Chains A and B, each alone.
Chain A
Amino acid sequence: MNAWFIAGCNPALNHARITSPKSSHYNCIAWAAGTNAEWWWPDPFGVYYWPQDVPRLETLDAFLAAYSTLCYESCGDGSLEAGFEKVAVYANAQGVPTHAARQLPSGRWTSKVGALEDIEHDSLAALTGAAYGRPARFMKRRLEGMSSEGST
């Protein structure tokens, strides 16, 4: 990761673990959606992937709608809930989406840092700061094969 990015994040990022090589082929939005096959972004030129029929707008509502196509529903926070996986969408001070992270079964989070590496980090706070802003919205979906009680 580059020094500028690290300087713009919480010192808790120091405990993050790099979990992939660098790649410019996918970004955090795609990685949080569970894929490393495309770069997801609602750019106005239509260059990048964005779910069909979801507005190509850089708004939190559009990003929530994008994850809704994968059966995510809005929830209150990023706490670990048995039987569910979560994503958190970060936004800057202007409310523009900047980053997304996906929760792991352990309760830690996985993030793709732009065109750099995937990392595993303890908390959403680890990426809070000048680079990405703060987590602004949370979504969850039932883990495949899990009942509402959290058992298979």
Chain B
Amino acid sequence: MNETVIEGTWEEIRAQEARLAGHRVRVTILDSDSRAAAASEERFAALTAKWRADTAHLSSASAIAMHPAYQEIIGMGAAALPFILRELERQPDHWFWALHAITREDPVRAVHRGKVAEMAKSWVEWGRDRGLIG
């Protein structure tokens, strides 16, 4: 069964009445915490997209991590950890400085330095052990 998730305020959803006409819908009322989490995730996704687009051609780990969008993600602090870890599991990428900066930890074995897939695996396991991701 194909489902499409549309999220927004009730007023925003009502504005799509013509599109939704005739379809069966399920309405879930989000509490303020869920709304805040959804907003954070949207912000993280937007920052990630900007960061990736602007730094894809770079080799310098420093330049990659100093991008303003990446720094904003670090600024989100611990709230960003589930998003980063889920993204890392989905698509291993250069999240390691952010994870280190936010957590002050480093679960990566020295022999894996620079091996992106292994480093990502170590961090994902770290996050799963702490209940940050499922």
Residues of A in contact with B, size category: 35 or more
CB distance from B11 to the nearest CB of A (A): 37
Residue numbers in A under 8 Å from B61 (CB-CB) = 39, 41, 43, 47-48
What CA separation (Å) do A26 and B65 show in the bound complex? 16
Partner of A113 from the list B57, B100, B115 (CB cut-off 8 Å) is: B57
Binding site for A on B (CB under 8 A): 53-62, 65, 91-94, 96-97, 100, 108, 113-117, 119
Residues of B within 8 A of A46 (CB): 113
Secondary structure class of chain A's binding surface, majority of residues:
loop
Chain A residue at smallest Cβ distance from B92: A24
Q: Are B119 and A115 in contact (CB under 8 A)?
A: no
A12 within 8 A of B: no
Other-chain contact of A24, B53, B54, B113, B116 (Cβ < 8 Å): B116
A131 to B63, CA, bound (A): 12
Among A1, A29, A41, A44, contact of B57 (Cβ-Cβ < 8 Å): A1
Known: A24-B93, A45-B97, A47-B119. A116 touches B62 (CB 8 A): no
A104 to B52: give the CA distance in the assembly, Å. Answer: 30
Contact residues in A for B119 (Cβ distance below 8 Å): 47
Residues of A within 8 A of B54 (CB): 4
